[in-house]
Amino acid sequence: MDPLLARQLRKYLPSVDPQAEQWQGFLKAVENAYVDLRQDRSFIEHTLETTSKELTEANEKLRHESENKLASLSRYYQQTLELQQGMILCVRRTAQGFEHTLCRGQLLQRLGLTPAEMEGQLIEKIAPPEHAATINAAYARAWTGEEFSGAFTTSGGIELFVLMRPRRENGEVCEIIASCVEITALKEAER
């Protein structure tokens, strides 16, 4: 007799004699039900274990593929930003002022700067005070939500056209994205 069934009989029906002929058919049917239940439970546990393993492997494969795709896209966009002829700037407002969070493009090199010198810095640390004041005024104007464009001349005499657009999250300006192109040759041709 199944040990669990024997325990339950002793606990709940102590007066029943499991050897008595009148109980044999009933107890055999109950014991068969216990065996079927154990087999079903074993099958379900095995199925769950197998399915869980398959899902874990599929999830790991998807995670790996996603990470590879993301890394590939990141490299692509990084190269695109660095190889463009102009310059892209991203600026966020901090307690200290407007901080450059991204600065990439060929124009940056022409200005004699590197991304490391620009990113994480306020314009006051990079440009002369008169230029920093003009640029900060443009950043402040764009931070109000207004698209802003204008021509600037660097302290080195390079003329730029800059377009600043606010980027919003939940309706609030969270960043300024500025696109800069050199127009020195055009201005010289105009003159």
Give the C-alpha separation, 132 to 175, whole Å: 18
Please give the pLDDT value at position 42: 94
Burial 8-30 (b: 16+ CB within 10 A, else e): ebeeeeeeeeeeeeeeeeebeeb
Please give the pLDDT value at position 24: 85
Give the C-alpha separation, 36 to 150, whole Å: 81
Q: Which two tokens stand for residue 185?
A: 């040759």
Give the C-alpha separation, 19 to 13, whole Å: 13
This prediction's pTM: 0.62
Domain 84-190 indexed as CATH 3.30.450.20: yes
Per-residue pLDDT of the chain (191 residues; tens, 9 = 90+): 778 888 888 898 888 888 888 888 888 898 899 889 989 999 999 999 999 999 999 999 999 999 999 999 989 888 888 888 899 999 999 999 999 999 999 998 888 889 999 999 999 998 888 889 999 999 999 999 989 898 988 888 899 999 999 999 999 999 999 999 999 988 889 88
Helix (H/G/I), strand (E/B), else coil: 81: helix
Please give the pLDDT value at position 57: 96
Please give the pLDDT value at position 13: 86
Please give the pLDDT value at position 91: 96
Please give the pLDDT value at position 172: 94
Q: Residue 141: which of 182, 100, 98, 95 has the closest Cα? A: 98
Cα 190 from chain centroid (whole Å): 46
Please give the pLDDT value at position 169: 94
Q: Residue 2: which of 51, 39, 49, 50 has the closest Cα? A: 39
Please give the pLDDT value at position 7: 86
Please give the pLDDT value at position 95: 93
Helix (H/G/I), strand (E/B), else coil: 64: helix
Q: Residue 186: which of 163, 160, 157, 149 has the closest Cα? A: 160
Please give the pLDDT value at position 181: 94
